[in-house]
Amino acid sequence: MLILILSGLSIFIGIVAMFIGSLGLIRLPDVFCRIHAVGMIDTAGASFIILGMVIYEGFTLVTVKLLFVGIFLFFTSPIATHAVAQVAHTMGVAPVLSLI
């Protein structure tokens, strides 16, 4: 029962984090703020969801695969957001300086 509660709580935290990130994607003013919000929260949300699945599954081959997916996401998500921001900057997208 404790494993079910801990895994459910971790998955719920991950879903809430992803929802907050999607709100940041909609509400923030420019591409750079949006990339920052989504990049930070995406990594945390996916990590919590994978942690919940690992807790629920126990120690099996599926757990090892989930950990590899988590490690892959942990390293590639910041790299991808940096690449998108760099392309936006190169293309001449200017950040919003005032929120008037």
Q: In this model, does residue 100 exceed pLDDT 80?
A: no
pLDDT of residue 72: 94
In the 8-state DSSP scheme, what is residue 93?
P
Q: Is the dihedral of CA 33, 34, 38, 39 positive or negative?
A: negative
| CA 84 to each of CA 15, 28, 88: distance values in angstroms, whole numbers, following the listed order | 24, 16, 6
pLDDT of residue 19: 93
Structure tokens at 57: 């599954």
pLDDT digits (tens, 9 = 90+) for 86-97: 999 899 888 887
35: amino acid identity, one letter: I
Percent of residues, the chain, with pLDDT higher than 70:
97
Residue 13's pLDDT band (boundaries 50, 70, 90)? very high
Q: In this model, does residue 44 exceed pLDDT 60?
A: yes
pTM higher than the cut 0.85: no
